[in-house]
Chains A and B, each alone.
Chain A
Amino acid sequence: MQHAVVAEDVRRTYGDTVALGGVDLTVETGEVFGLIGPNGAGKTTLIRALTGTTDADGRVEVLGASPRSVDRERIGLLPQEFSPPERLTARELLAYYGGLYEEARPVGAVLADVGLGDDADVWYENLSGGQKRRACVATALVNDPDLLVLDEPTTGIDPAGRRALWSLVERLADGGTTVLLTTHYMEEAEALADRVGLLAGGELVATGTPAELVAGYGGEPRLEVAVEGDADSATAALESAGYRAVETRGGLAVEGIAAREVGDVAAALDDAGVGYGALAWTQPDLEDVYLELTGTGVGSGGEPVDREDGPGDGRAEPRVPTGGERR
């Protein structure tokens, strides 16, 4: 299979700050590749290096050419902080960007793809935040690119709109478009990406399918127990029954437990006379991988990630210290 993107030892510094410390990356043709990582991990810098919009050291090849000599008809880019002319309607905006290419898709079809058909004649500045982002995504689709590069495409989009965009990306991928996207939403990477690369501190610390990453770094399934009463008694009861239990903020968690064993745990608690409000069994997911590898997980020694802050703050270049080590 031909590589759509090849990056070897890509480095970029800003003064003394290392934004990319030697990244090697390959994206196959037709693949959806997701880049995840904390703010400042270097995702946007890597996107810029791959699209030739920053001067980076190392070797980069996009669709068989260097980023600045590649056929630009074949590339579609959504920059992270993209803000197009505000007093153009969504329709005019797409006509504008479509007019820059030899062959562009019909504007109406692209607007329909991103769910802006009904607001096509509204000035960009009067669209809602989510609609604006969808219009921006549309500008990357208007030339029907072979390689679509989306830097945080769903930032600010509501859940329904986000899922609509996921469907769109899936359709494009099914049609053979190679997609390289960055995201802070782990479920987005898990849902869309064939492979995921986790960038931390300017280095690609792990690459693989979501399942491979979860299997390798996500840890074990666990059962969360909302204990009513003395957590120490509950822990002792479970440990005497042969389970590994650790205290958590909501009670305790039994680690390394299969779903079929949940009833046995409940029985052990009942036998010990420990009351509990709820049991919740969870499998590890990409978020656990993220927290583990970026050193931001509970007990990892790193700084906790603010899980509420959502996607990028637009300051992608500075390298942030991470306390975790790849295991």
Chain B
Amino acid sequence: MSRTGRIRAEATAAARSFLRRRTAVFFTFFFPVLLVLIFGVVVQSGGTGGGLFALPPAYYVPGYLAVVVLFTPLSRVGSEVARHREGARFEKLATTPLSRAEWLLAQTLVNAGVIGLAALLIFVLVVVATGARVVLGAGTLLVVPYVLLGVVLFCGLGAVLGRVADSQDGVIAASNGVALPLLFLSETFVQPDLLPGWLPVWASPLTYFSRGVRAATYGPADGSPGLNLAVLAALAVGFFLAGALAVPRTD
């Protein structure tokens, strides 16, 4: 079987396994929808005062998308690594032609499909439920590569967390511990002027996702969509390679 065939086999098995865990599927979609409803509809944005959610709803589109782009790959790939390790599946796979990079790529493809669908749902929901005025045009399509690169990046990071954590519980705790600060300190929901100047938001890969998606959907922000895309792509490659190396091969 060719490399493509191996990746297809792994991705098919991973997709079936995921889609048959109904609770996991439900909450993958429900969690971001819940956030949109809470922050976009209940709390509401676009008020005249200061503080959080003071800007027009479209400003927060990157934040809502970041929820799935960040949380889902971290927890899914991390848990999958832990699950594979506990079931001696890596021990088995290490004696097959499937490489660690191919395994991670297959997991990433499944995540890309799931998260792409969830991102589309959220995008539509934000527009419909919050009345966000999203800039529509050819540049808006840049959201697609941003989401895909974000998925690749955080799948790599998820594999690293899965390697470091010693159990599925540990992976969930670790991924929450990493994702929550990133989510709120990466120019997603909290605009830069509300963050302390010393905070190195540039160090968060999610910042480039936020800036790029915002530039594509809200209007010119910090940096061009192309520049942020290039940075995100470079980071995605780096994190993917780190993740592939982190996938366990031995006991």
State yes or no: do A and B come from one complex: yes
- The residues of A with any CB-CB pair to B shorter than 8 Å are 48, 51-55, 72-73, 75-88, 92-93, 95-104, 123, 139, 143, 149
**Once the chains bind, are B1 and A99 in contact (CB under 8 Å)?**
yes
Q: In the assembly, what is the distance between CA of A139 and CA of B89, in Å?
A: 11
**Once the chains bind, are A83 and B87 in contact (CB under 8 Å)?**
yes
Contact of A83 among B12, B86, B94, B249 (CB under 8 A): B86
Q: In the assembly, what is the distance between CA of A48 and CA of B95, in Å?
A: 10
Contact of A53 among B9, B16, B87, B91 (CB under 8 A): B91
The smallest beta-carbon distance between A181 and chain B, in angstroms, is 15
**Once the chains bind, are B89 and A82 in contact (CB under 8 Å)?**
yes
The smallest beta-carbon distance between B186 and chain A, in angstroms, is 34
Q: In the assembly, what is the distance between CA of A78 and CA of B250, in Å?
A: 15
Q: What residues of chain B lie closer than 8 Å to A83, measured between beta carbons? A: 86-89
**Once the chains bind, are A102 and B9 in contact (CB under 8 Å)?**
no
* Per-residue contact bits, chain B 1-41, to A (CB 8 Å; 1 contact, 0 not): 10001101110111011001100000000000000000000
Q: What residues of chain B lie closer than 8 Å to A103, measured between beta carbons? A: 1
Contact of A87 among B1, B6, B21, B95 (CB under 8 A): B21
Q: Assess A54 versus B1: contact at CB under 8 Å? Given A72-B96, A82-B89, A97-B96.
A: no
**Once the chains bind, are A84 and B16 in contact (CB under 8 Å)?**
no
Say if the beta carbon of B98 comes within 8 Å of chain A.
Answer: yes
The smallest beta-carbon distance between B233 and chain A, in angstroms, is 29
**Once the chains bind, are A82 and B88 in contact (CB under 8 Å)?**
yes
**Once the chains bind, are A87 and B16 in contact (CB under 8 Å)?**
yes
Interface size on B, residues (CB 8 A): 29
**Once the chains bind, are B95 and A139 in contact (CB under 8 Å)?**
no
**Once the chains bind, are B97 and A100 in contact (CB under 8 Å)?**
yes
Specify the chain A residue showing the minimal Cβ separation from B88: A79
Q: What residues of chain B lie closer than 8 Å to A92, measured between beta carbons? A: 13, 16
**Once the chains bind, are A96 and B96 in contact (CB under 8 Å)?**
no
16 A-B contacts (beta carbon < 8 Å): A53-B249, A75-B95, A79-B88, A81-B87, A83-B86, A84-B87, A85-B13, A85-B17, A85-B89, A96-B10, A98-B9, A99-B6, A100-B1, A102-B97, A103-B1, A139-B92
Say if the beta carbon of B193 comes within 8 Å of chain A.
Answer: no
Q: What residues of chain A lie closer than 8 Å to B93, measured between beta carbons? A: 100
Specify the chain A residue showing the minimal Cβ separation from B13: A96
Pick from A54, A72, A103, A149 the residue with the most CB of B within 10 Å. Answer: A72
**Once the chains bind, are A87 and B249 in contact (CB under 8 Å)?**
no
Contact of A82 among B1, B16, B92 (CB under 8 A): B92
**Once the chains bind, are A101 and B96 in contact (CB under 8 Å)?**
yes
**Once the chains bind, are B9 and A82 in contact (CB under 8 Å)?**
no
Q: In the assembly, what is the distance between CA of A218 and CA of B201, in Å?
A: 72
Q: What residues of chain A lie closer than 8 Å to B94, measured between beta carbons? A: 51-53
Q: Assess A55 versus B250: contact at CB under 8 Å? Given A95-B9, A99-B9.
A: yes
